[in-house]
Structure 1
Amino acid sequence: MLLPTAADAPEATNTAPTLKAVLWDMDGTLVDTEPYWIAAEIDLVTAHGGHWDEEKAMAMVGNALTTTAAILQDAGVQLSVREIIDHLSHSVIAGIRKALPWRPGARELLAELHGRGVRCALVTMSERNLASEVVKALDEEYFEFLITGDEVANGKPHPEPYLKAIERLRESDPSLTAADCAALEDSIPGVASAVASGVATIAIPHAVPLPEDSRHATWPTLAGMTYDDVTAALASHAASAGAAL
């Protein structure tokens, strides 16, 4: 499904959803950390006498870190899952402390949503120590809370990370439902997780191409996108869900 814009939004009705929250993926959506992850994986596998390349690394973009660690073990890394996760995370943290490349338009959209009173949360498969480094680099406290990979039993593509975020949002607003939320994602597992949770999902392909799917919107970039565009995507999702009933 191609990008819905504010001009394409269905005419407002009394039952139109209200954009109350936007749930952000981190790696590849908010910041371009994928090159750091890929380099760390290649270095680690090579150090253990195995072979790893960018193509293999790209196939794992968006996976839970436990999944990635298990695959690296199969590639010859003779470390525990915990040791592999720690090694990769520390390598990426070292990289972002030197340079943190934001994805085009991400900081601008985040700032506008925050200014319009839309609640924002980070939903990432990176662990809290890494995610906190990224959040600390922001000028303001845009994110109300973080849902990280070490805090869920089932990582993406399972819907648990997004369902947990919705549950947290409902603690202070019991009227909020998945229909009031939009998710921004760049990976196949991440998009699958968000779609399965029931939120309006906006896919922004980056490191890997994403297949077309009527269950989510696809934007080529966040650059130039606004609150109105996210609201339009939410309305389009609601209209599609209503038509399916």
Structure 2
Amino acid sequence: MTLGVIFDMDGVLIDSESFYFERRMNFFKEKKLTPGSKNKLDFVGLTEAGIWQVLVPDVENRAILKKEYQKYRKAHPLDFVKALRCDVKEVLAYLKYNQIKIALASSSPENEIKAMLNQNNLESFFDFVISGESLTKSKPHPEIYLLSKEALHCDNYIAVEDSPVGIASAKAAQLYTIALKQDFPINQNEADLIIDNLSDVINVVENWSKYKIMRNT
């Protein structure tokens, strides 16, 4: 039996949702504009395109502001080393040592994913990496997880998510789905299991036979 573990990035490997949200709000504040939503939960788990549909409902203005924001984002980058959760390397090292396939399936832009992996020296851990830019349909559609499953080619899979749309995407692809608890209110009830720390993934893998049986009963 082979096992593959597929991680989301934002909110899972890195604690970034609050930083991204504040950066967007500051951009609109400096522009003296009101965004389509000031509720952080409206953006959690969305692709770049989905985020901007919420931020700027008007298509014409959206394209202009999005282009300006690209420059703003470069001038205000996230420090991925500081954002990395403390137990990420422990979990990835454990999975790699035990010959478990690892994928990263994130709605974030490809350049953000590459920057995170590069700054934290994590590239060698992953057997497959896919961004939201590679998709025809974004989460909660299961495409990102279906492509990840195809690439890893395992008998069983575990997804590690945080947002409702990410959980829905993984469940639709028929993955056993773990939700990492966040420090803000978010509905994770559709996940198979909610964990407090990323290192809890190790326990699930070590006891996979038990969790697999519980899922099928």
Q: Letter of the 2:16 partner, please give it.
A: T
Determine the C-alpha separation between the residues in 2 that align with 1:169 and 1:226.
18
State the 1:25 CA deviation. 0.5
Q: Deviations over 1:92-129 (max 9, x none)?
A: 6x2226x5322242221111111111111100000110
State the 1:231 CA deviation. 4.4
Matched with 2:108 is: 126
1:135 aligns with 2:122: no
1:83 aligns with 2:60: no
Gaps of 5+ in 1: 1-17, 171-175
With over 3 angstroms needed to count, the CA separation of the structure-2 counterparts of 1:27 and 1:53, relative to structure 1, is same
Matched with 2:197 is: 221
1:106 aligns with 2:93: no
Q: State which of 166, 185, 193 in structure 2 corresponds to 1:190.
A: 166
Determine the C-alpha separation between the residues in 2 that align with 1:129 and 1:188.
24
- Matched residues, percent identical? 22
Q: Deviations over 1:119-156 (max 9, x none)?
A: 11100000110100111123451011211010011111
Q: Deviations over 1:25-52 (max 9, x none)?
A: 1011001121221122102322343335
Checking the alignment, whether the CA contact within 8 Å between 1:162 and 1:197 is kept in structure 2 is yes
Q: Letter of the 2:133 partner, please give it.
A: D
Checking the alignment, whether the CA contact within 8 Å between 2:204 and 2:211 is kept in structure 1 is no
Q: Letter of the 1:45 partner, please give it.
A: F
State the 1:56 CA deviation. 1.1
Determine the C-alpha separation between the residues in 2 that align with 1:78 and 1:234.
52
**Normalising by the residue count of structure 2, what TM-score does the alignment of the two structures yield?**
0.84
State the 1:76 CA deviation. 10
Q: What are the equivalent positions in structure 2 for 1:6-25 lying under 5 Å apart?
A: 18-25=1-8
With over 3 angstroms needed to count, the CA separation of the structure-2 counterparts of 1:187 and 1:226, relative to structure 1, is closer
Q: Say which SS state the counterpart of residue 83 (structure 2) adopts.
A: coil
Determine the C-alpha separation between the residues in 2 that align with 1:149 and 1:91.
23
Checking the alignment, whether the CA contact within 8 Å between 1:19 and 1:234 is kept in structure 2 is no
Q: What are the equivalent positions in structure 2 for 1:1-245 lying under 5 Å apart?
A: 18-52=1-35, 56-74=39-57, 78-80=61-63, 83=67, 86=70, 90=74, 94-96=77-79, 99-140=81-122, 141-170=124-153, 176-177=154-155, 180-206=156-182, 207-213=184-190, 216-223=192-199, 225=200, 227-232=202-207, 235-241=210-216, 243=217
State the 1:200 CA deviation. 0.8
Determine the C-alpha separation between the residues in 1 that align with 2:172 and 2:74.
31
Determine the C-alpha separation between the residues in 1 that align with 2:161 and 2:60.
29
Determine the C-alpha separation between the residues in 1 that align with 2:68 and 2:169.
24
Provide the aligned C-alpha RMSD in A.
Answer: 2.8
Q: Say which SS state the counterpart of residue 103 (structure 1) adopts.
A: coil
State the 1:79 CA deviation. 3.4
Q: Say which SS state the counterpart of residue 139 (structure 2) adopts.
A: coil
Checking the alignment, whether the CA contact within 8 Å between 2:91 and 2:198 is kept in structure 1 is yes
**Normalising by the residue count of structure 1, what TM-score does the alignment of the two structures yield?**
0.76
Determine the C-alpha separation between the residues in 2 that align with 1:203 and 1:234.
19
Q: Deviations over 1:201-240 (max 9, x none)?
A: 1001214422423x511112224x2534234356424543
